[in-house]
Amino acid sequence: MQTLPPISLYIHIPWCVRKCPYCDFNSHAARGALPEAEYTHALLADFTQQLPQLAGRKLHSIFLGGGTPSLFSPRAIDTVLRGIDRLAPLAADTEITLEANPGTIDEKHFAGFRAAGVNRLSIGIQSLQDDKLRALGRIHDRTTALQAVKIAKQAGFNNFNLDLMHGLPDQTVADALADLHAALALEPTHLSWYQLTLEPNTLFHHQPPTLPSEDVLYAIQAAGHAVLTEAAFEQYEVSAWRKKDKHCQHNINYWQFGDYLGIGAGAHGKITDSQARCMRYMQHKHPQAYLAAQPNFTANQHPLTQDALPFEFMLNALRLTHGVTTDLFTQRTGLALNIISDKLTLARNKQLLIADQKRLCATELGHRFLNDLVGLFL
Ligand SMILES: C[S@@+](CC[C@H](N)C(=O)[O-])C[C@H]1O[C@@H](n2cnc3c(N)ncnc32)[C@H](O)[C@@H]1O
Ligand code: SF4
């Protein structure tokens, strides 16, 4: 492999104020004080162990996700980011994103995160209608969400994402559009617009709420796309919309099949070596198990076989609206493109992949039937 892929760092903070009924992330309701100092120490020990995997690369981006990273104090975030910078000096313009729940935020928090080096926020608004927020079991209401965005801006965060969901219990097209307009009025640079899914092992899966019909869901999608496009937002991935060039660099690296280290409970990583061998791993999932596992944080790891690589590459790359150049396939997997020529021809014949030989990109039909398209590369 001539050059190793770019490499990012994901940091998982596994606690929330309480568990939302739709959420299947590795998040746990905090009971009492968080073991912040202990966990911060473990994160840095975890990173130290993984340092050799950087193999001379600078970190492309950092993402503090959860759970609810904004539950941690600015001091703890500062300790983590400083420690990382000491071990692997960061470029001044490295994108550092932190996920924030509006219900956990005050002015001091946002200003402190900014001072600690966080330069991008992802705020979990979900909806700006109180009845929907209640139905989602959120800890915040509309007023709190608006206030959170206001103080984020006051703290100097001009680059921020809003997470918004649609297809919510009893939601009408008008409700969903009102949410979009209200979110756009907050002037985010990025919008993650997710359709609510009922995930196994969640309360909503066991006690499903009344969701909009397929027709309403389709109408929400179509009308929402028009509103976002009109507001000069560009869709660049299934659920991701950006203003101008303000895409999420961290997520782009996943979708372009880059490498990433994962530290923290249940964090995943993917590492390629100079022989183009690719390894996936996961850290111990439960916060207690993770803390108790020191110094061996990794619960399991497995190599990606040459048979699995094309599928894994496509699973990510074809989510991008404009796909990727064909060169990227070899750069990231170390495999010649001709090993999947038959599959590419089949996908093109089915009108699921565009006919351009220089790009790997789903057609409009391919984006609608993405699972079928990606399944061809299994
Ligand atoms: C890890 S959560 C992010 C931040 C923070 N914990 C919060 O909820 O405010 C990532 C985002 O995924 C989305 N999400 C979570 N579960 C979902 C589901 N079942 N269906 C659709 N979107 C979901 C939500 O928009 C959520 O903000
Ligand atoms: S706050 Fe976010 S991570 Fe936590 S339970 Fe709710 S959706 Fe999941």
Residue 108's pLDDT is 87
Under the banding of pLDDT at 50, 70 and 90, the label for residue 106 is confident
Closest CA to 298 of 49, 61, 25: 49
């929330």: which residue's tokens?
16
- Output the residue whose Cα is nearest ligand 2's atom 6: 20
Closest CA to 239 of 268, 211, 197, 198: 197
Residue 238's pLDDT is 96
Structural domains of the chain sorted by starting position, each given as residue range(s) with its CATH number in brackets: 7-253 (3.20.20.70), 306-378 (1.10.10.920)
Interval between CA 51 and ligand 2 midpoint (Å): 29
pLDDT digits (tens, 9 = 90+) for 36-59: 999 999 999 999 999 999 999 999
* pTM exceeds cut of 0.85: yes
- Nearest bound ligand to CA 136? 2
197 in contact with ligand 1, CB cutoff 6 A:
yes
- Measured CA to CA in angstroms, residue 227 lies from 83, 122, 180, 212, 234 at distances of 43, 21, 8, 20, 11
The number of the ligand 1 atom at minimal distance from the alpha carbon of 197 is 20
- Output the residue whose Cα is nearest ligand 2's atom 3: 67
Residues with CB under 6 A from ligand 2: 16, 19-20, 23, 25, 27, 66-68, 101, 124
196 in contact with ligand 1, CB cutoff 6 A:
yes
pLDDT digits (tens, 9 = 90+) for 161-220: 999 999 999 999 999 999 999 999 999 999 999 999 999 999 999 999 999 999 999 999
pLDDT digits (tens, 9 = 90+) for 315-330: 999 999 999 999 999 9
Does residue 298 sit in helix, strand or coil? Answer: strand
